[in-house]
Chains A and B, each alone.
Chain A
Amino acid sequence: MIEVQNVFFTYPTANVEALKDVSLKIDNGEFVAIMGQNGAGKTTLIKQFNGLLKPSKGNVLVDGVNTREISVAQLARTVGFVFQNPDHQLFSETVEDEIAFALKNFGFNEEIIEKRVTWAINLLDLTEYRKTSPFMLSGGERKRVALASVLAWDPNVVILDEPTIGQDHKQKERLLQFIIQLNSQGKTVIIVTHDVEFVAECNPRVVLMVRGQIVANGEAKQILTNPDIALKACVVPPQITQIFQGLADLGFPADIIDVSEAGKIIFEHLELEGRKR
């Protein structure tokens, strides 16, 4: 469980308050999307979760332990963090070594490392690249290697910073399935994203940030379809919501974000219309 209690944070070099009195509680096994404009403080907030940044004021507790009292390496064991740009972490000669790096840092023995590496490679469909240099892979594949290198040590919490950037539709679809699968295995999944359509599809709890503050926190359905909140946070509602809101005068509900649900409603509506004639 991650508890953020009245956290303020100021970057020492920039002298800008990036977080202003942020409080948030994320339970075990939750799926949370943190959204907001560029510079709203999303990345600053998630870096508090694994101790990369420590609050200037207030406390962050991970499983009841204050992040000030424990090293990033120790926290990383429970909180896995996948950075936005895989090029910021890949350095090994082979994909295999890359994935084993963190496991070695955490002091697993050879046998377990071997087993975990194989498991992570299969999980992310990287078997054919096992002995390839990560620098030879495409952008999307590098991203998967980065993800595998974090999932390999099986952290309870997985944080993904902008996982959908630079991924084509098919990869996004797979990522979605993957995240849902992780979450259903009881992992806490936290994503930071601008991708409204992606969030609409996976329907997590949404935390919306504006200028270092949390302005909305609740179900995706409520937040993404609320025009006031959306305007404040510069979030454009999903396309299907926009269509439905445009058709409100025909009696369509205004809080639809799921495309298949929308389809069902339209069919029912058409059937009803047909019967009337």
Chain B
Amino acid sequence: MSVFEGFRFRHISSPVHRLDPRVKFFFVIVMFVAAVIFFELLPLIVLFTLPLPFVWLGGVQRPWMKSLRGAMFLAVFLFVFNLVFGYFSPSTVPYGMVPLEYATAMLLRFLVLVESFSTFFLTTSPDHLSLALEQSHVPYEFTFAFTTAVRFVPVLAEEAQTIMDAQKARGLELERGNFMKRVRNYIPILIPLIVSAIRRSLELAEAMESRAWGAVKKRTNLYVLKLRRGDLMLIIISIIILAAALYVRYFVYPLPTITMLLPK
């Protein structure tokens, strides 16, 4: 559950929170692209440090750390996997790197992705997000479905916990048995969870209809997103990052690796 905890928005006011969500999302996409085109450690270290100022400015260090910690399990898994594969079939490791550097780079790439997405979700309220979608001309039905989904994640997480408790009270031991048995142990939890999610969505639909959802075709908003100076700055920063990443990728050759820099 701690991974969800790390993505849950809390209302705070900070320069980062006030930025236009569309611009912030553009920044995240840039980070995503940059992280995906590199598999070398050095540029990924640089990329990893880029969102840090936003984390500090946004004052979300603690939940941000939590989201990273939540991702640690998968990250360590990736690391070990790449390391083992690197040693057993060296051809998977790019030229000029030892498996350790490559595995570390892959771990860091994953962390860069988690880090930028979590920074985005931690500093962008769901309302802001739906506003951004709406003003990017996404049909309101989709916007609404999206925000509802986001809003119900913590509710579902809590419900999953209750269901787990209820089944444990009936003698279910989740941690018992071999791998297949353990997977099967989750059936008594998944079925009530899915059934209640479907029931809940039907109830929600009825409640919405009874409150005349969709009666007004043209919607207006209290808040209108407008690009301010900070937003323009972030756009420029994002473009610089993207341009720099593309330049380094396609024109700097060979890209130095730590393995090469170390004295033999």
Given A13-B5, A87-B196, A91-B192, CB of A102 within 8 Å of CB of B171: yes
Could you say which residues of chain B place their CB within 8 Å of the CB of A106?
A: 171
Could you say which residues of chain A place their CB within 8 Å of the CB of B173?
A: 71, 73, 105
Could you say which residues of chain A place their CB within 8 Å of the CB of B5?
A: 13
B165: interface (CB < 8 Å) = yes
Could you say which residues of chain A place their CB within 8 Å of the CB of B1?
A: 13
Which interface residue of B5, B162, B169, B199 has the most chain A CB atoms within 10 A?
B169
- Majority SS at the chain B contact face: helix
Could you say which residues of chain A place their CB within 8 Å of the CB of B222?
A: none
B192 touches A89 (CB 8 A): yes
Could you say which residues of chain A place their CB within 8 Å of the CB of B159?
A: 88
A91 touches B171 (CB 8 A): no
Q: In B236-256, which residues have CB < 8 Å from any A CB? A: none
A50 touches B169 (CB 8 A): yes
Assembled-state Cα–Cα distance A149/B171 (Å): 11
Given A73-B173, A91-B187, A105-B173, CB of A83 within 8 Å of CB of B168: no
Chain B: which residue is nearest A102 at the CB level?
B170
- In the complex, per-residue mask of A148-159: 1 if CB is within 8 Å of any chain B CB, else 0: 011001000000
- In the complex, per-residue mask of B160-183: 1 if CB is within 8 Å of any chain A CB, else 0: 001101111111110000000000
Chain A: which residue is nearest B199 at the CB level?
A87
B171 touches A89 (CB 8 A): no
A83 touches B162 (CB 8 A): yes
Could you say which residues of chain A place their CB within 8 Å of the CB of B170?
A: 76, 89, 101-102, 105, 149-150
Q: Nearest-CB distance from B228 to chain A (Å)?
A: 35
Assembled-state Cα–Cα distance A253/B157 (Å): 51
B166 touches A88 (CB 8 A): yes
Assembled-state Cα–Cα distance A88/B168 (Å): 12
B: interface residue count bin: 20 to 34
Choose from B162, B171, B172, B187 the contact partner of A88 (Cβ within 8 Å).
Answer: B162
Could you say which residues of chain A place their CB within 8 Å of the CB of B163?
A: 88-89
A129: interface (CB < 8 Å) = no
B165 touches A91 (CB 8 A): no
Assembled-state Cα–Cα distance A76/B168 (Å): 8
Choose from A13, A52, A85 the contact partner of B169 (Cβ within 8 Å).
Answer: A52
A73 touches B168 (CB 8 A): yes
Assembled-state Cα–Cα distance A89/B187 (Å): 11
Mark A residues whose CB is within 8 Å of B: 13, 47, 50, 52, 71-73, 76-77, 80-81, 83, 85, 87-91, 101-102, 105-106, 135, 149-150, 153
**Closest A-B pairs by Cβ, 4 of them:** A105-B171, A91-B191, A102-B170, A81-B169
Question: A72-B168, A88-B166, A105-B171 known; 5 other A-B pairs, CB under 8 Å?
Answer: A47-B165, A73-B172, A89-B163, A89-B167, A101-B188
20 CB contacts below 8 A, A to B, read A13-B1, A13-B5, A47-B165, A50-B169, A52-B168, A73-B171, A76-B169, A81-B166, A83-B166, A87-B195, A88-B162, A88-B166, A91-B187, A91-B192, A91-B195, A101-B170, A105-B170, A149-B170, A150-B170, A153-B171
Mark B residues whose CB is within 8 Å of A: 1, 5, 159, 162-163, 165-173, 187-188, 191-192, 195-196, 199
